[in-house]
Structure 1
Amino acid sequence: MKNPALLVAGAALLATVAGALWWRMGSPAPIPVLAGLDDAKMASLYASPLPVIDRPLSVFHIGHSLVNRDMPAMLAQLAGEGHRYESQLGWGAQLQSHWGDSPVNGFEAENAHPRYRDAREAVNSGDYDAIVLTEMVEIRDALRYFDSARYLAQFAESALAARPDARIYLYETWHPLDDPEGWLERIDADLARYWEAGILRPALLHLPEGSRIQLIPAGQALAALVRTIEAEGGVGNVTDRRDLFSDQIHLNDLGNYFIALVHYAVLYGSSPEGLPHELKRADGTAADAPAPETARLMQQIAWQVARSTPLTGLAP
């Protein structure tokens, strides 16, 4: 007859092992800590601002629905005649998939427009003054599973090999409004811990000496705008953060207009103050416009954040 005590002990051991396995399988993989340029090398690399652009740019956008079709179209209208752009987009697409090492989710739907161009072909063509890349959201999952820094470096290397004077940009985005850590709290923390330490610094380590990737601090600017508007109880036709979004993460026309201003400020190194605020969407229809006082605030904040955030390539 089997010893009841041994049966109980064995059952307890199996339960412990099963629990440990469930915990391991159910827990997210740790975010890798990668080597990257140290503070001193970063300070030296970005010590000098980029020369200001005084001509229309050709820009290629690589990303997903937080780039979308309307924001680049609005940027082109802000920049004026001569600004040219194309893109490759996806649904929550990783840089890895845009490189071609996995399928781009939503590829056919998101690129069914006249501005589409194959990302690798575009980057290797040397046709563009600026290449703007962003990584998927959730950014933590991008770092855990999709080797973000490696693919940012590969895109940058290819662009610079084709055109040494090309400017490479990393577009910092955001996460859902209902993030349990807090929407503003995560934007405050994520730039340093994920976008810079997790992607930008490790990518720079693999580029030729002296090569730079500038930052487009859209998440930082969006947080600054929301803080100002909510502290004032609303400005014009924006009362709080929800008035900038169509759902928990995607922007509406007002939000896209603001992010286009941030792109303009960084790419052109020029204040967007005084630029038009009544623009069209990519399909030619009239976009919902910010009220004049809202537009003025958006333009001021876009320029302030672009100048005050390190790594944008602008003079402080």
Structure 2
Amino acid sequence: MYFRLLCLLVLLTHTLSAQELPPKPAYPFGIKQIHSGHSLTDPLFYPHWPGQYVNLMSSVTGIPAWQLSNVTIGKSTAPGSSMMYRWDNKISNGAPDARLDIGNWEVLSITEVVPLAVEGGNTQSWYLNRLQQQRTYLSNFVNNAWSNGNDGKGVPTLLWTTWTSIDGKDGPFREMLDSQGKEWEAMQEYANKNRPAGAPPVYIIPGHKMMARIYDDIQKGIVPGISDIKQLFSDNIHTNELGAYAIAMIHYACMFNKSPIGLPNQLIPNPPANTPIPTPEFAGYVQRMVWEVVTSYPRSGINMQSTDLTSEEGHFQLRQSGNTLFFDLQGHESVCLKLYDMSGVLIHNECVVSGNALPLTGYQSGVYAYTINSMKGDFMYGDVIVISGD
């Protein structure tokens, strides 16, 4: 059913440009995903193998993490490698190869080496060749995935975008996030323009947007426990456990079209002493921030302004009409709703009974996070909501 719906979607929308992407299908939790990249992909799996993302997927699926590694979640990386290198060279050490082994997988996530070549960055032929290569080889992987992936049924591709060195050696860090972002988008557009008939569009996992948001929020003093971007890094470009947590959250959001709000903050079992573990406050910030970044970026294909939301467990149904929430609590007597601004400050706390409407008035226009929990404590759900100011 998932495959038929995906094919119908892409056949109807193939002629749309990258700026007019159709909504991205939500992939099921058990989808076989392979991640092609380098050391900025590795935080999904390290430090502390099998990694916070794999441990998160273990908690979601109920399958032991070690059974997911390179079976359901594939690591296909080479240090410092470009897509051209990974196209021309088989991944070593028995790891799955995102080109040659794509028939065994159901979705491809891929990234390019940084810094990217950018339009106007240099006029020398080697630079212009590199600019074209990064677009061409993304297209090669995309087309190979659709033609040969999943035993010939076709595999969609997500583009994981990253960042440059925080020490400024590649250029001012914050400025580079924006300038590199334009090329990530150009790569996406090139691949979408040149994809085979019937292939779904490439969507972006916007790591560059996430890092820009974190950087800006640190400058505003609203990231819990963090006063410098360096606190999320182990060196000038590689993230530590805190940065890896954010990477896990954005991959979860973009893979499954689901809000990470309410996910665990502790995803490293038995961590060594002095391991930086996300506090509940930091984790809550990251989850809300990631969902806002993803859903406000059209190239992710994920839009949070849905009119009907249902909890994964079926405990309740929630419908938004304007600035009013309507509840059908599926037999529960009452639930409590907490509303937060995007800096994590609690601004509304109210309990409602089944069938009640909850007007959210008196707030400025913007994006807010909320959690809903049963007064009996048997479920909790979190997401974000757009409110139009009075």
- TM-score tier, shorter chain, comes to 0.7 to 0.9
Give the match's secondary structure for 2:34.
strand
TM score, norm. by length of structure 1: 0.74
One-letter identity of the residue aligned with 1:153: S
Greater relative contact order, per chain length (Cα 8 Å cut-off, separation 6+): 1
Matches within 5 A, 1:62-211: 62-68=36-42, 69-70=45-46, 73-79=51-57, 80-81=60-61, 82=63, 84-100=72-88, 112=93, 116-123=95-102, 125=103, 127-140=104-117, 144-146=128-130, 147-162=133-148, 163=150, 164-179=153-168, 181-192=171-182, 194-197=183-186, 199-209=187-197, 211=199
* CA deviation profile, 1:30-70 (whole Å, cap 9, x unmatched): xxxxxxxxx972234x1x21232343222101110011132
Q: 1:264 aligns with which of 234, 252, 261?
A: 252
Q: d(CA) in 2 for partners of 1:229 and 1:291?
A: 16
Q: Contact between 1:233 and 1:240, CA under 8 Å: does it hold in 2?
A: no
Matched-pair contact (CA < 8 Å) for 2:232–2:239:
yes
Describe how 1:243-258 pairs up with structure 2 within 5 A: 243-258=231-246
Deviation, structure 1 residue 186: 1.4
| Aligned residues of 1:53 and 1:268 also touching (Cα < 8 A) | yes
Q: Which runs of 5+ in 2 are unaligned?
A: 1-14, 119-125, 305-390
Gaps of 5+ in 1: 1-38
Q: For 2:213 and 2:53, locate their aligned partners in 1 and report how far apart those are by CA, in whole Å.
A: 20
Identity percentage of aligned residues: 27
Q: Deviations over 1:248-294 (max 9, x none)?
A: 1111111011011011100010000111111128xx85553111111
Q: TM-score, normalised by structure 2?
A: 0.61
Alpha-carbon distance in 1 for matches of 2:189, 2:32: 26
Tell me, yes or no, if structure 1 residue 235 matches structure 2 residue 224: yes
In 1, are the aligned partners of 2:18 and 2:188 still within 8 Å (CA)? no
In structure 1, distance between residues paired with 2:30 and 2:295: 20
Name the count of aligned residue pairs.
260
Change (3 A) 1:67 1:208: same
Give the secondary structure class of the aligned counterpart of 1:166. coil
Q: Which has the higher strand share?
A: 2
Partner letter of residue 78 of structure 1?
A: L
SS in 2 for 1:131: strand
CA distance 1:40–1:179, change in 2 (3 Å) = farther
SS in 2 for 1:191: helix
Task: Give deviations 1:199-241, integer Å, cap 9, x for gaps.
Answer: 22122222124531110001111110221133116512x2220
Q: CA deviation at 1:196?
A: 1.3
8 Å CA contact 1:95, 1:151 repeated in 2: yes
Partner of 1:215: 204
Checking the alignment, whether the CA contact within 8 Å between 2:145 and 2:154 is kept in structure 1 is no
Bigger Rg over Cα: 1
CA RMSD, 1 decimal = 2.6
Structure 1 runs, 4 residues or longer, greater than 6 Å off: none
Is this contact kept in 1: 2:19–2:299, CA < 8 A? no
